[in-house]
Amino acid sequence: MPVLAVDQGTSGTKAVVVDGDGAVLALAEVPVTPRYLSDGRVEQDPMQLWDSVLAAGRQAVERAGVPIDAVGLANQGETVLAWDDADGTPLSPALVWQDRRAALLCQRLAGEAPWIAERTGLALDPYFSAPKMAWLRESGVTGGVVTTTDTWLVHQLTGAFVGDVTTASRSLLLDLDDVAWDPELLAVFGLADERMPRLVDCDEVVGSTSAFGREVPVGGLIVDQQAALLAEGCLTPGSAKCTYGTGAFCLANTGDVAVRSRSGLASSVAWRVRGAMAYCLDGQVYTVASAVRWLVELGLLDDARHLDEACGDDSHGARFVPALAGLAAPWWRADARGAFVGLGLDTDRGALVRAVVEGVAAQVAALVEAVDADLGRPLDVLRVDGGLTRSAALMQAQADLLQRPVEVYASPHATALGAAALAQLAADPGASLADVAWPWTPAAVYEPRWSADRAELFRARWLDAVDAVVATADGRR
């Protein structure tokens, strides 16, 4: 049963046609261009997103040369826009998950943060959907509806007005235990009068489309990071993965329990399939591939593909905090900014690139340690995917700082394969999650080379640099 899975991401849209055994029959990718503006604003053109979905999907189907039986969609999660629900016309740019313009709104609601966190499992931060939705309304965007981009894209495909439970759990508007829109949360963000999409399971057929050829059902809707968690076989409590894309996203399955993190992580719906709920803990590094792009723009790196060649053998004491778009879990400081510390006359270009690589790995290591604390036991291994897993320097640094193995997912299409698995379930009511948990063997395994003492010392010094960044942000308040 071939299905088309579309992964609509921050810097591009990927479409794959996948058969019933999980084999990729065809692939197409179309770039999209976020606009990085001043004051932490990040926008996308909604029509560019829609055009990229159509172009990538049609190219993949044409290349596969076989008819598809269903379409699934993975989405960015927290990117929002206002749009006319009568004809689908965008009424605003898409405010990307990295966008920080709602930071002041979050500060205004700071007194509500504890109960919001208890109700939603999320920190009060502009990363999530509701602050950006509220900002759009407060900025004067009227009429229509304001939703995450997936709801708009599905409406463009099918005419339906729906949102899947995983995306909704990233909004600050969902009661995490009841898995329902919460009137009190909507009211606190000034969104009580908004029309909200109907919530659907990840394996639900929500409509049909002829956008990619013959009329086929649309189902298999999920947030991109949860899709990768599923694809990498993290189906049991305590299994975890990290995706290295525009940002880095570390997720750990917690089973049917919506854990409230004691360590500053977010708690979300992993998926609801065949009526069964799975939750996850997750933490984020906002700038990873975008930090590499920043190095290229500064002239410290000629091309992202040459990251390993440019990476020095030693950072010579330099440390980098990758807070170029703020600090996420477990600090949740939207006002933090990136920093190099420990620079000297022996700090050359290679040392700076090495510091960025190690800074990303150190922040992911901090997230994994938070997962360990919330689970009550250390993860045995970290599964990883995403474009930057091609960097041996980054993956080795990750294993060194984690002091545990790092297993690289065998396919570069984890998110799309997760959406494809759910599309298979939507199209075949007789199939189970186990049927689409396609087996895989790691493309590479990185074992720690550093001693435990060296890793501990590095992490301590890196955390000192984070403390300095936070202190600087406090001084700006």
User: In this structure, are residues 101 and 126 in contact, taking their beta carbons and an 8 Å threshold?
Assistant: yes
User: In this structure, are residues 155 and 88 in contact, taking their beta carbons and an 8 Å threshold?
Assistant: yes
Strands (E), 225-370: 240-244, 248-255, 266-273, 276-285, 319-321, 339-341
Give the C-alpha separation, 2 to 387, whole Å: 25
User: In this structure, are residues 231 and 418 in contact, taking their beta carbons and an 8 Å threshold?
Assistant: yes
Structure token pair of residue 337: 């900014």
- pLDDT value, residue 304: 87
Q: Please list the ranges in the chain whose pLDDT falls under 50.
A: none
Tell me which residue has tokens 């313009």.
Answer: 101
Question: Does the CA dihedral 257-161-51-99 come out positive or negative?
Answer: negative
Burial class (CB in 10 A: 0-12, 13-18, 19+), 49: buried
Task: Tell me the HSE value of 292 on the side-chain side, using a 13 A CA sphere.
Answer: 24
- pLDDT value, residue 475: 82
User: In this structure, are residues 145 and 118 in contact, taking their beta carbons and an 8 Å threshold?
Assistant: no
The strand pair at 406-408 and 382-385 is best described as: parallel
Return all residues near 377 (Cβ < 8 A) that are at least 6 apart. 238
User: In this structure, are residues 295 and 394 in contact, taking their beta carbons and an 8 Å threshold?
Assistant: no
Is this model's pTM higher than 0.85 or not?
yes
Give the C-alpha separation, 363 to 368, whole Å: 9
DSSP string, 297-315: HHTS-S-GGGHHHH--S--
Give the C-alpha separation, 308 to 171, whole Å: 37
Give the C-alpha separation, 169 to 175, whole Å: 8
Q: Which of 130, 189, 193, 192 is nearest to 163 (CA)?
A: 130
Give the C-alpha separation, 279 to 272, whole Å: 9
Cα 468-470-473 angle, rounded to 5 deg: 110
Would you give the distance in Å from CA 436 to the centre of its chain? 22
Domains belonging to the chain, first-starting first, are 3-232 (3.30.420.40), 284-408+447-476 (3.30.420.40)
The strand pair at 276-285 and 339-341 is best described as: unpaired
Query: How many residues make up the chain in this entry?
Result: 477
Q: Which of 113, 141, 146 is nearest to 129 (CA)?
A: 146
| 250-298 per-position pLDDT tens digit | 999 999 999 999 999 999 999 999 999 999 999 999 999 999 999 999 9
Q: Which helix (H) or strand (E) covers residue 258, if one does?
A: none
DSSP string, 327-347: B-TTT-BTT---EEES--TT-
